[in-house]
Amino acid sequence: DLDTILASIAYAGSLDEVEALRVKHLGKQGDVSALLKTLGAMSPDERKVEGPKIHALRESVAGALATRKAALENAALEEQLASETIDLTLPAPETPRGSVHPISQVMDELAEVFADLGFAVATGPEIEDDWHNFTALNMPESHPARAMHDTFYFPDRDAEGREMLLRTHTSPVQIRAMIEQGAPIRIIAPGRVYRSDSDATHTPMFHQIEGLVIDKGIHLGHLKWTLETFLKAYFERDDVVLRLRPSYFPFTEPSVEVDVGYTMVNGKRVVGGSEGWMEVLGSGMVNRKVIAAAGLDPDEWQGFAFGTGVDRLAMLKYGMDDLRAFFDGDVRWLSHYGFSA
Ligand code: PHE
């Protein structure tokens, strides 16, 4: 009878059991289905009485099956959710995080400053030939300035018989840019350079940023304005003072060395003011011979160039005092200066 059927459905312990009961009662061979079929053999009067009863019976069985099915599905979901709960109060293990190295960060900062002034970034190979590194820069073989560079040479020459070396400065990129792009030019060239030199203030590998502008009517005033603008932007101070001193580089004429003024604050040198001076870069008007060596007409094109030590600029900005520590990979040192979480 109906009550027994409804009770068996209400106590079904699994979805499989519910399905078995559905087949048993409402399936093709089911008992309720069989009852429905008896309607066909009834007289119209009988059917009027029995029809609604049988249909009501079918409805309550179907309803009970749906209710039980939903309840069982819901219980399964609750159980799953309970077992998958994440305990947010559990302390997470510490995950060490890396950071951008100060040298890379400073190179990025400088590239940004110069991008605002319309300079593109150029690159050249770290393994150079002596023509790009020296000869084209007005340092022919046996030029005394070559000896100042403590060059790392390779034992073998290249296919054209040129001596190969680790570039001693980023200036060969000047030559490559002029040959590849022609004029006008406005580039900076950041990168690694190498000299056989090592003490507290020198490492055999260090970083430079070269700057080169080639155009018409370029003069020393453009150079001074550019350096002043970039150093003020880089140090984020308006009171940066520059001092230009006459100097000598074979590839610039005239040549100037540039000092930046500092003030002593708690025993540390802070850029700004002019209590003392620190050299930060070499520069000058590009030598006519260099412009000609790179295939441009020096009567038509003039320009200025500068080269600055990235490591030195990083130490000045972030108050670091040991150059070698940059390349030790000591996370404690880096995090002391705010470069690691
Ligand atoms: N290449 C020079 C150096 O390494 C710096 C420099 C670059 C000077 C460009 C003048 C012009 O010392």
Task: Name the residue with the closest Cα to ligand 1, atom 9.
Answer: 306
**What CA–CA distance (Å, rounded) separates 114 from 106?**
12
Q: What is the pLDDT of residues 74-84, one digit of tens each?
A: 999 998 888 88
Model pLDDT, residue 236:
95
Is any atom of ligand 1 closer than 6 Å to the C-beta of 252?
A: yes
Looking at the CA of residue 171, tell me the nearest atom of ligand 1.
1
**What CA–CA distance (Å, rounded) separates 57 from 80?**
35
Q: Name the average pLDDT for the chain.
A: 92
Is any atom of ligand 1 closer than 6 Å to the C-beta of 169?
A: yes
DSSP code at position 94: P
Task: Name the residue with the closest Cα to ligand 1, atom 4.
Answer: 169
Helix (H) and strand (E) counts for the chain? 12, 11
Q: What is the pLDDT of residues 186-212, one digit of tens each?
A: 999 999 999 998 887 789 999 999 999
Distance 293 CA to ligand 1 centre (A): 17
Nearest to 294 by CA among 138, 130, 166: 138
**What CA–CA distance (Å, rounded) separates 197 from 150?**
7
Range with the largest mean pLDDT of 93-97, 160-164, 305-309: 305-309
Distance 156 CA to ligand 1 centre (A): 27
ipTM above 0.95, yes or no: yes
Q: What is the pLDDT of residues 211-238, one digit of tens each?
A: 999 999 999 999 999 999 999 999 999 9
62 token code pair: 């179907």
Task: Name the residue with the closest Cα to ligand 1, atom 6.
Answer: 307
**What CA–CA distance (Å, rounded) separates 115 from 155?**
39
253 is in an annotated binding site: yes
What residues contact residue 12 under an 8 Å CB cut-off, 6+ apart? 18, 21, 68, 72
